[in-house]
Structures are given as C-alpha cells and as structure tokens.
Amino acid sequence: PVPAGVRPADAVGAALAETHRIAALPGVVATALAVDPRHWELVHFTLWERPEPGAAGEAYEVLHLSSPEAGRLRRGRQW
C-alpha cells in the first residue's frame, strides 16, 4: 500500500525507479509495476531466468514459458 501521507505520484515514481534498477540486474527477463488506484497499492513482478535467492516477496517457479516471438518485443515501456 502507498504509505499514509505520501502522494501517490511520489510513491509510483519511487517504485518505477526501483523497477528500472531491477530491470538492469543480470538474469532479469522481464519486470512490471502495476498500480491499483482503488486501494492505492503497488504490485511489482519480476521474471528471473533462474531462482533469485534473497529476493523480497513471494517466489513462484515457472516450469514452462512459451515465447515464440519474444524477439519482437521492444525494451522499455510498452505503452
């Protein structure tokens, strides 16, 4: 959740900066930041090419990822 007393735009800006930092780490396949304005919560997802020890939050193992046209994806924001 966005902490009380913090402007939502400031919280999103800080989370976006952290997402950019994580995206530059070795082994990161993709990372995304989502904002739920109904509850003012930020959710961050990162897909690693291998298990990332010490990463905060919940971890799930993806057993298969179909990516036949992954080469067509651009780097950076997709909107």
At 47, the pLDDT band (50, 70, 90 cuts) reads: confident
| Per-residue b or e along 50-64, where b marks 16 or more CB atoms closer than 10 Å to that residue's CB | eeeeeeeeeeeeeee
pLDDT at 51 over 80: no
Look at residue 65 and give its three-state secondary structure: coil
**Tokens, residue 59:** 């971890």
**Tokens, residue 43:** 């959710």
pLDDT at 56 over 90: no
Overall average pLDDT of the 50-67 stretch:
75
Instruction: Please give the pLDDT value at position 63.
Output: 82
Instruction: Please give the pLDDT value at position 15.
Output: 93
| Count of CB atoms situated within 10 Å of the CB of 46 | 19
Count CA atoms closer than 13 A to 51's CA, side-chain side.
7
